[in-house]
Structure 1
């Protein structure tokens, strides 16, 4: 009997999940509010369902009768997955853990209760009056929505002149109007890819990250494995594992973001999902041989999955910064591909015009992915491909 998988989302983020489920011989139902989303044509059945609406997803699940429900690369639908799975008796994190991993206020509370290393912070409610005394001598600081992702609504605030505007920007991206003000951490950023096995978090890979910096911190480059020394890696891993446990995540994947400061690693946030930006769909398989997307599906239907590395390589992705006014076109880089292990991902439609600086991950039009036997070989391949790509657009 074939497994029935219900995938929440039909955007480009979910394509690896839908394709992997089909490759495994599953009967795939797909939910999305957009009937023209790219993944709809790949589904065995499509449901025009708002994946952010828990009750709608549950009603759809009762009709489809899946033996597994999953999503990847996106935060908020994790609540809908947990809501339906808990009611239908399917493998999943608890609904409380889903809330803890998607509401940054609840998340920080869980971190504090576990006495984990976090930045100073406080939350402003949607209609509350802002007490300026709480910002005294605390600039620069970060202002961000309590329940958004992908750098949306995140700003670095250096003084009072920018403070109120940053709060309004963050509120526009916050579903409940709450905004978090927190310490601006200085250091190198990493993400930790985790998968729970036998109710315990297991660290699979650590990724070095390079962002655009202030004010929006859009992620531009990712590299695996991390360059940190073994002692720092151990501290990063311990903090990530404790963060996952603090939020009550005992099932499936988790993606933990950490900044390594002069005082050691500090938590930024986490998600009860696979990391986006091709980290878990491409980089982890390239660097370790572990198919995390397949593992998500196997976990969702209660089957055994494999977390042991089968290879050890370097892998990375670059999101090129194109000049304003550039139009995205199909570029023939076969001369580069033939020499190197390179792939290009189009994140915007052909003809898309770059209108300004990237303010969130959604503004990046393309990605370049590669791997190599060394970090030096990898860097050469990526930078050479980036240079050629920009020159030909």
Structure 2
């Protein structure tokens, strides 16, 4: 019985464990959180941090695993690649995974390989604030301050002037593990949304393009993703530009297989700017959403690819307009329930709720504080647009 080592056992990662078991693999799980739900689904569990390369390597050696998968996990993607390389297991080059995983390295790579890239500079937490302010004057406002090693817009602030810089740095630092921050020019765009979603690569070629438009929260800074819609509303030229640049990037980095999460902005000339290309499946159940849209099983594809087996992806889009909505609250409290308007109740075809009645709910500032996810399908683009324009009237969270 072949073994697969899975790095991460959160609620969103359990499906990868269950899928691997369904495919007949013996599942070994590493996760440092003692209350992770994945331990109850896996065949064997190790209380080991997924970012501890040597500890993961020891588990992989002791268990004699045949493949390693860091499903939907940014921090675990590089350790998975390093350990798989050491053991001669299926892997993308760890050097390429390292480039994708840290923003300042990625920006450097983009510039050196003639991809569109905003002007930027990096600095360490604790750097002299006056020196940072001097460097900022070399950029055009607005600017963006962010950690170099987080995703999903965590710790990100947009500034129209140097006012608020100290708070922006503190916010970015709170989400940074490596304590290296980046400041870059804001990309002005004619397209109204960040383009997100996932792609899937096999044998160095993208075999699934799953670009969508991101929904962002209206409260707070409006940067945190609260869903994805498909089709995304891009015209044919924009889609072609996106596909061309994505494949060029995959080729330049020698990415061989697997699902990658994308965040893209189009500038005023429709040039493609890569905000992030994460070397792992997207969070907020993007693989499930794309599986629904295209009639495939991307979770299964991730497991098979990690085991060196070619996945079956025959892309055939289903009829309709699809959107996910991340259930969230902008205040702390105890979960009481979800209100869904009768106007859209029949459009909800899947509902994942992470909380039980009475569970603590925290103010939403990232995917880790989501309450659940709704999956909706509409017959017309007008219905989809109406939902996206009125999400907080049509869906709400009740707190005790």
TM-score (norm 1): 0.90
Q: Which moved more, 1:175-184 or 1:318-327?
A: 318-327
User: Partner of 1:156: helix, strand, or coil?
Assistant: strand
Secondary structure at the aligned position of 1:132 is classed as helix
Q: Secondary structure at the match of 2:244?
A: helix
The aligned length equals: 390
- RMSD over equivalenced CA pairs, Å: 2.7
Corresponding residue SS for 2:346: coil
Residue matched to 1:49: 48
Distance, in Å, in 2 between the alignment partners of 1:332 and 1:138 is 43
Corresponding residue of 1:125? 124
Among 256, 262, 270, the alignment partner of 2:268 is: 262
Please name the residue that 1:134 is paired with: 135
CA distance in structure 2 between the partners assigned to 1:258 and 1:288 by the alignment = 21
Task: Determine the structure 2 residue equivalent to 1:194.
Answer: 199
| Corresponding residue for residue 351 of structure 2 | 344
CA shift digits 1:124-180 (9 cap, x unpaired): 124443342221262221111111123222111232221122113212322221101
Aligned counterpart, 1:97:
96
2:161 aligned residue = 159
Q: C-alpha separation between the residues in 2 aligned to 1:338 and 1:225?
A: 21
Aligned-partner SS, 1:329: strand
Contact 1:14 1:39 in 2 (8 A): yes
Assess if the C-alpha contact under 8 Å between 1:7 and 1:30 holds in 2: yes
Task: Work out the CA distance in 2 between the residues paired with 1:297 and 1:140.
Answer: 42
Instruction: Mark the runs of 5 or more structure 2 residues left unpaired by the alignment.
Output: none
1:226-277 per-position Cα deviation (integer Å, ceiling 9, x unaligned):
2111111001111222233333422222122101221213221111111111
Unpaired segments ≥5 residues, structure 1: none
Which one of 322, 344, 355 corresponds to residue 315 of structure 1?
322
Q: Is the 8 A contact 2:198 2:261 kept in 1?
A: yes
Q: Which residue of 2 aligns with 1:204?
A: 209
Which is worse superposed, 261-270 or 375-384? 375-384
Q: Which residue is equivalent to 1:110?
A: 109
In 2, the alpha carbon distance for the partners of 1:322 and 1:155 equals 20
- 1:166 and 1:306, CA in 2 relative to 1: closer, same or farther beyond 3 A? same
The runs of at least 4 aligned residues of structure 1 exceeding 6 Å deviation read 332-338, 380-386
Q: Could you list the per-position Cα deviations for residues 86-145 of structure 1 after superposition, in whole angstroms to 9, with x for gaps in the alignment?
A: 011110111101211111111111111111012221111244433422212622211111
Query: 227-236 or 331-340, which moves further after superposition?
Result: 331-340
Residue 217 and residue 59 in structure 1: after superposition, are their counterparts in 2 closer, same or farther (change >3 A)? same
Provide the C-alpha distance between the structure 1 equivalents of 2:341 and 2:17, rounded to a whole number of angstroms: 28
SS in 2 for 1:171: helix
1:354-392 Cα deviation digits (max 9, x unpaired)? 554x32232332321122444345566788997565276
CA change 1:328–1:384 in 2 (3 A) is: farther
1:181/1:40 Cα in 2 relative to 1: closer, same or farther (>3 Å)? same
Question: CA 1:65–1:216 in structure 2 vs 1: closer, same or farther (change >3 Å)?
Answer: farther
Give 3-state SS (helix, strand or coil) of 1:61's partner: helix
Of 142, 145, 148, the residue aligned with 1:143 is 145
1:217 counterpart SS class: coil
Q: What are the superposed Cα offsets for residues 172-209 of structure 1, whole Å, 9 maximum, x if unpaired?
A: 32222110101112332102422222222334211111
* CA spacing shift, 1:384–1:210, aligned 2, 3 Å: closer
| Paired position in structure 1 for 2:335 | 328
